[in-house]
């Protein structure tokens, strides 16, 4: 029985270290050699016991995330100053350019919904994620912003 508690203490330390480093739960679980659900159960148990170190490490995790967010904002500002457009706008333009043949085919068709559904699912997901195509039930179509870039490149 004491060996089980000792193993739990080792797991606890690895979990706390992983959380303080802002690792994903799947990465921490890999370090432990267990599946993600087992790790989540351990975390739930630690929260139930109100582990003070867990609270402290989660605060550290939030600090790291805030720092990463501020670094991302600085990068976006620099990119905006040098190119005159945001990273999101640049990636949107790149997606329009990359999928231009498919988008032109959709524009030429009578029913955009049918033509969009003919595309492979991975391409549809990418177009929806990048807000080039709207997501809807029987009314998928190219967004107005994408039309603007397709007509006036």
Nearest-10 Cα torsion for 36, 40, 45, 49: 130
Is residue 44 located within the same domain as residue 77?
Answer: yes
Q: How far apart are CA 66 and CA 42, in angstroms?
A: 26
Is residue 117 located within the same domain as residue 52?
Answer: no
- Asked which of 82, 97, 123 is the last residue of a domain, the reply is 82
Is residue 114 located within the same domain as residue 50?
Answer: no
Is residue 91 located within the same domain as residue 115?
Answer: yes
Is residue 41 located within the same domain as residue 94?
Answer: no
Is residue 47 located within the same domain as residue 97?
Answer: no
Is residue 71 located within the same domain as residue 91?
Answer: no
Number of domains in the chain: 2
Residue 41: its pLDDT value, please?
Answer: 86
Is residue 21 located within the same domain as residue 57?
Answer: yes
Q: Find tokens 């807000």 and name the residue.
A: 131
Task: Give the contacts of 46 (CB within 8 A, at least 6 positions apart).
Answer: 12, 15, 54
- Asked which of 50, 82, 114 is the last residue of a domain, the reply is 82
Residue 6: its pLDDT value, please?
Answer: 52
Mean pLDDT by 10 residues, the chain (153 residues): 56 84 86 84 85 80 86 89 88 91 90 89 90 84 87 73
Residue 5: its pLDDT value, please?
Answer: 42
Residue 72: its pLDDT value, please?
Answer: 87
Give the structural domain span for 98.
87-151
Residue 96: its pLDDT value, please?
Answer: 92
- Asked which of 38, 59, 82 is the last residue of a domain, the reply is 82
Q: How many CA atoms lie within 13 A of 115 on its CB side?
A: 15
String of DSSP letters for the chain: -HHHHHHHHHHHHHHHHHHHTT--HHHHHHHHTS-HHHHHHHHHHHHHTT-HHHHHHHHHHHHHHHHHHHHHHHHHHHHHHHHSS-HHHHHHHHHHHHTHHHHHHHHHSS-HHHHHHHS-HHHHHHHHHTTSB---SS---B-HHHHHHHH--
Residue 4: its pLDDT value, please?
Answer: 41
Residue 137: its pLDDT value, please?
Answer: 79
Q: How far apart are CA 153 and CA 142, in angstroms?
A: 16
Is residue 71 located within the same domain as residue 110?
Answer: no
- Mean pLDDT rounded to a whole number for the chain: 84
Tokens of 40: 């989540």
Residue 122: its pLDDT value, please?
Answer: 92
Is residue 8 located within the same domain as residue 75?
Answer: yes
């Amino acid at each position: 029985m004491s060996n089980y508690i000792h193993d739990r203490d080792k797991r606890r330390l690895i979990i706390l270290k992983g959380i303080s480093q802002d690792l994903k739960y799947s990465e921490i679980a890999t370090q432990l050699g267990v599946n993600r659900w087992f790790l989540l159960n351990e975390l739930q148990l630690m929260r139930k016991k109100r582990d003070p170190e867990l609270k402290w490490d989660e605060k550290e995790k939030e600090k790291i995330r805030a720092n990463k967010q501020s670094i991302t904002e600085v990068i976006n500002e620099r990119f905006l100053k040098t190119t005159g457009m945001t990273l999101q706008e640049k990636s949107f333009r790149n997606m329009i350019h990359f999928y231009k043949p498919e988008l032109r085919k959709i524009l030429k068709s009578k029913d955009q919904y049918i033509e969009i559904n003919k595309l492979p699912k991975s391409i549809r997901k990418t177009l929806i994620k990048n807000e080039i195509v709207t997501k809807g039930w029987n009314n998928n179509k190219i967004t107005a912003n994408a039309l603007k870039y397709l007509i006036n490149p």
